[in-house]
Structure formats: C-alpha cells, structure tokens
Structure 1
C-alpha cells in the first residue's frame, strides 16, 4: 500500500532543494556582480543632467553630490557675505572661459581637503611650515591670504571620469583686521594694491608648485585666479584682478593676465561710475519710489568688465506685508525696469522685507522682458 504522505514529503523536499540551489546560484551571481562594481568606480558615479550649455554637469557619487572639501575655510570670520558670492561666481565665470561646459564636467574641489586648507591659510611657523601667510605677530604682520577655492573639471574616458583641468581661486585681503588682545577692540590696516598683487602672485605660484606634486595633477592645465577681497563694510563684493593659465605641467607661473573687473554701488558716491548707468538707475528708482512711498531703500550692484556694464543686481526693501500689495508692486517694478534699466545685460531684482524675500524678477541679456515670481504665504 502506498503512502500518499510520503510522496508529498518527497515532493516538498525536491522543491526545497531546488529553491536552495537557485538561492545559492543567485548569491554567487550577486557576489560576482558586487565584486565588479567594487573595482569599477564609475558604476557608483552619476552625472547631473545639463539644463543649459551655460551650466556644467555635476557629479554624484554613491548617491551623494560631491561637495567641496575646502569651501568655507577662511582665515577669520568674513563679515562681508558678498565677498563669498562674488568670489565663487566670478571664479566659475573664469573657469567657463577656459574649460568649456560642452566638453568638461564640473566637480567641487576634491584635492585640497579641509585640513590642508587650514594649514595653508594659517601663518608659516615651525609647527606649520605649510602656512602661506607670513610668520610674525598679528599686530605687526598682516594676514594676506583670506580664502582658497578649488574647482575640478573632469572628462569621460572609458566610462569613467578623469581629472582634466583645475581652477584655483586665491582671495587676498584688501584690509587686515586684527585685535591687540583677546576679545578686545578690532583694529584695521588698509593694504596697498602693490602689496595685494605681490602677495597674491607669490602665493598663487606656491600653490601651483604644491599641486603639481600630486600625480593626478602633474600635467593637467591649472588656472590660478587672484581675487581682491572687499572691506567688511562694503556694499559690494570684491573682484578678480589677475589670472594665469599653466599648461604642460608647468610648476612655475610664467605670466599673469590682468583683469579689469569692478563692482559699483548705485546710487554711487564715486565719480568713476558711468553717468548713463547712474542716470538710468536714478530714473528707475525715482519712478518706483514716487508710486510706492513705503520703501526702505533701493540700491543696485553694477558689475563692470573692461569698463563696460555687464550685469546688475537690484535690491528693494519694502514695508509691504499684504499679498495684494506685493503683487501690484512687483508688476509695477517690472514695467519700470523694462522701461528704464539698461538693456542687453542680465539683471536680477530682489524685493524683500524684514520677514524675508517677497518677490523676484530676472532678465537675461538676450531678453527684453522680465520673468517675475511672487512668493505666496501659503
């Protein structure tokens, strides 16, 4: 007599053995695939899509954006945040003129880490021979170097990314701030243009020599750009004044190219500002203030390259809190901006109150009309 339960048990046993075999096979495949991924770094690297050829593609590794290892490291607290913005934006514009957005992929600096940046930004001493600021007492010898920024430019080769270019920004103080005693009064010493240029070029040359010691950076083009920091009380950021392109593994800067870049505040107290730009802004400002008197102020930062206006950012501070007021005001600002502000240049207009940003307007250099957006309270 046959045993139905025995047949069922045998059938179950065969199914279990088959499943175990499949599991072991899949595990082996998974292990093999995992080993391949471990050897091929490119499998963990992704590129951020490029929405416009004005911008670089970025790099994501292991699901995370590659942040800079040295950004934000400065000699002391930088009270002028406009310096940081002008420094980073200006450096990116310099990079674009040497590393095409169509050919290169942008990666935040990965070779100068936080520890290295801190050493370089400190004074040169026996304990810190790598310091790029001169040795001596704070009350007598200025700290010239304020900040360093690194930008890496990659190219794709055999499904992987390779470092193929680099830009280094070197921020030099225009005013040296120091204390004679801990928590004491802050003193300042204005540095001459000749000091700023001399120190900047010397420091840039030393940084180039140090970077070339890394085998990955031995033969790539390295751009060194020198930036003059604006004083802490300035209403505009600083500006780049020289750069050098170092090809073919050069370990010493052979020449520096002068840059004529200026940032001016409008309305201006300086006679250097272009009268036509000043008049255009004054007309815009008076029209807006006459129509809406509840304004705390209207100022602009005008950006000049080789004496020509190349961009403008307008800040308007209001006392409006009702959304209908903000919408009406934004629409009026747009009509007056299109009528009075200079054409053919990019312009941003920020409208804000003590509660924060209320609306924003923007126009590209090739457009005649402004795009606007009102930030709703909900």
Structure 2
C-alpha cells in the first residue's frame, strides 16, 4: 500500500472510532492482561464506575431510532450517558433502578416535533430548521418497590433558526436556553397528565452542527420538577464544551491544553518510527479540561509492539495531563481494536491488550 493512501486510511479509521466512542466512559473489563513493563504505569485493575442496575425483562425506549430518522448527526451515546450522569444527582444508584422510557409514546413525541401549523401540539416553527429535534425519556424505579419513582427528560435542541429575511442564523447559548425553557414547560405539563406525582429532571441538550462528525453535542441547562408539581422549580445552567485535538479552535481557546496534546503527539511519534494517527476529543466543564479521549491508529505486527506503545503513551499521558482529567486511550489498527488504557480521576488506571 502506498504511504499516502495508508496514512489516509489510518486517519479515517481514527476519526471513525472517535465518533463512535465519543467521550463516554467505559465499564471495567475483567480479562487478564500482561503486566506493564515500565514503572510509570500503575498496576492493572478493573475500572469501577457508578452504574444503575436494571429490572428484567429489558424494555426498549418508546422513541428508539427517531433521531436517525431525522438525519441529525448526533453522538447519541453522549446524550444517553450524559442523562445518566445528570440523573445520579437526584436519583442515586444505591436507591434506584434504570429503565428505558416507557411513559411517553412515540406518537406524542412525533406530535411535539411537528410544525405549529400542522399539529396543535407541534412545537417547531412553521419555516426553517427545527428547534426541537428529539425528546428522550429515562425512567428510574424505586429499588424496593420496583415502581416508577423518577423521570429524566432530555430535550435535544438545534441552535440554527431562520430569521424574517429567510437567512439562517444561530442562537446564542442564552437564547437557546430561553427557548428551551418554554418548550420544557409545555412538555412537563403534557407529561404530568399521566404522571402527576413523579419527580422529574429536565436536561436541555444542544445538538452539534450537521456537518460535525467528530465533536458531540453538549448539555446547556437542567431543571427539576418536584413531586406533585407541574412547573419547573429550579434551573441550573451547565457550561460544557467539546473540542477536537489537534485543532485551531482548541488552540485559540485553551492554548495550554492544546500545547500538552501537541507534546503528546510529538513524543509518541518520535518514539515509534512508523506513522501513528493520533486524534483526541476533549470535554471541558466550566472552562477546565475534565475528560480526554484519545484514539491512536497504526499498523502493528505483534502484540508486544502494541504493549510497548500503549505503555509508552500511557506514561506520556500521566506526565502531561493532571490527575483530575479522566483519560480514555484507544489503540487500534484499521480493522480492529488493539488495546485500551483508562485513567479515571478516582481509582487506579486500567490497561487491556486485546487478543485475536
């Protein structure tokens, strides 16, 4: 294979895995892995994450697949995992079980997504792009009673709109929050008809641009609805961003994080002679890097080569990035995964070398 074509395929594979994985957290794997050969790598242990249990049989969400039907490029895993993170603040995993949304029917969401002129329940403008893209429901059951005891609703919003002259413009974050509050109020009142006593959490999620294939959307606002109430009692803004590494945007806004990533690229590529595609997606909360997902793509001929690279890259990550940044490192070839290294902010790092 020619060098130019090979590099293109490696880069394409790296970008694809970044899209599929987004910045989601991986549950711990239990398979045995080779012990790291360098002292800079912490002992290999299972990653411990705080997940909800579920109650069988598993029931699918009533609105499954509706986002893809509307041709929106959205990291759906980021939306789902983000809702779980938000839910834990109100419905702790020690007291609640998770269940896919069962209260809001598909037909009801379709009505909400309709344009105002076409349906009395429609919430989208008559012309131009949709404002409300999707509504995702997660349910939480009381562990002891195994009955519905909480709901989380994720409202996916597009910031693109059409002005009076027909030109497309983009809402600011505050403008989109204001629009989302109005929609959320109507949706809560509709849901309350069949669930008058269930506490709810509302999360507003800004979808990425349709042209974006790497950076997921972001949460911009959460609200709480107390039991037996039909109005949102309190709103809390969320300052969340995602940036691609390397990239002009992150270099301009977060030069220090960009510099550290550039150092990581130089170190790994200078240590290994052959070309290595390195792509990162960083999650920033309140202007601070909190999570970094790195995808390294290269062709290797042996497991030992994979092990050496993963150890070296993990050691470089530990040296360059603060311990309060969650790190996900995925090592892959064009066709299959080779290794993972996870460094959580709490607990010990975990490394796994895949076997064919």
Question: Which residue of structure 1 aligns with residue 201 of structure 2?
Answer: 223
Distance 1:313 1:153 in 2: 29
Measured in 1, the distance between the counterparts of 2:265 and 2:274 equals 13
CA distance in 2, matches of 1:371, 1:156: 31
Task: After the TM superposition, list the runs of 4 or more consecutive aligned residues in structure 1 that deviate by more than 4 angstroms.
Answer: none
The alpha carbon displacement at 1:272 in A equals: 5.4
Higher relative contact order (CA 8 A, sep 6+): 2
Match of 1:374 among 324, 343, 353: 353
- After superposition, residues 154-165 of structure 1 pair within 5 angstroms as 154-157=141-144, 160-165=145-150
For 1:73, the equivalent position in structure 2 comes to 66
Equivalent in the alignment of 1:105: 97
1:257 to 236, 248, 251: 236
Counterparts of 1:286-325 in structure 2, within 5 Å, are 286-325=266-305
Q: Tell me how far 1:252 sits from its aligned partner.
A: 2.6
Paired residues of 2:226 and 2:233 also in contact (CA < 8 A): no
Deviations 1:217-238 (CA, angstroms, capped at 9, x unpaired)? 2122111110111113333111
Unaligned runs of at least 5 residues, structure 1: 1-50, 178-186
For 1:150, the equivalent position in structure 2 comes to 137
2:19 aligned residue: none
Match of 2:262 among 272, 282, 293: 282
Q: Distance in 1 between matches of 2:208 and 2:98?
A: 27
For residue 61 of structure 2, give the secondary structure of its aligned residue in structure 1. Answer: coil
Q: Deviations over 1:129-177 (max 9, x none)?
A: 332222x2xxx422111122111111145xx411111110001013469
Partner in structure 2 of residue 347 of structure 1: 327
Work out whether residues 106 and 152 of structure 1, in 8 Å CA contact, stay in contact via their aligned partners in 2.
Answer: yes
Q: Is the 8 A contact 1:54 1:101 kept in 2?
A: yes
Contact 2:269/2:276 (<8 A) preserved: no
Q: 1:330 Cα deviation (Å)?
A: 2.0
Matched residue, 1:115 = 107
Deviation at 1:321, TM superposition (A): 4.9
1:280, 1:342 within 8 Å by CA — same for their partners in 2? no
Give 1:327 deviation, angstroms. 2.9
Alpha-carbon distance in 2 for matches of 1:219, 1:288: 56
Q: Partner of 1:256: helix, strand, or coil?
A: strand
Contact 2:128–2:161 (Cα < 8 Å) also in 1: no
**What pairs up with 1:262-273 in 2 under 5 angstroms?**
262-270=241-249, 273=253
Number of residue pairs the alignment of both structures matches = 303
Cα distance, 1:111 vs. partner?
0.8
Normalised by the length of structure 2, the TM-score is 0.77
* Inter-CA distance 330–243: structure 2 relative to 1 (3 Å threshold): same
Q: How much is the aligned-residue C-alpha RMSD, in angstroms? A: 2.6
State the alpha-carbon separation in 2 of the partners of residues 265 and 244 from structure 1: 29
Is the alpha carbon distance of 1:176 and 1:321 closer, same or farther for their aligned partners in structure 2, counting shifts above 3 Å?
A: farther
* TM-score, with structure 1 as normaliser: 0.73
Distance (Å, rounded) in 2 between the aligned partners of 1:143 and 1:321? 49
Whole-Å separation in 1 of the counterparts to 2:220 and 2:51: 24
CA deviation digits over 1:64-101, x for unaligned, max 9?
x2222223312611234xx3122112111111111111
For residue 310 of structure 2, give the secondary structure of its aligned residue in structure 1.
helix
- In the alignment, the residues of structure 2 paired with residue 144 and residue 189 of structure 1 have an alpha-carbon distance, to the nearest angstrom, of 12
What is aligned with 1:54?
A: 50
Q: Per-residue deviation at 1:290?
A: 0.9
8 Å Cα contact 1:261-1:306 kept in structure 2: yes
* Secondary structure at the counterpart of residue 150 of structure 1: strand
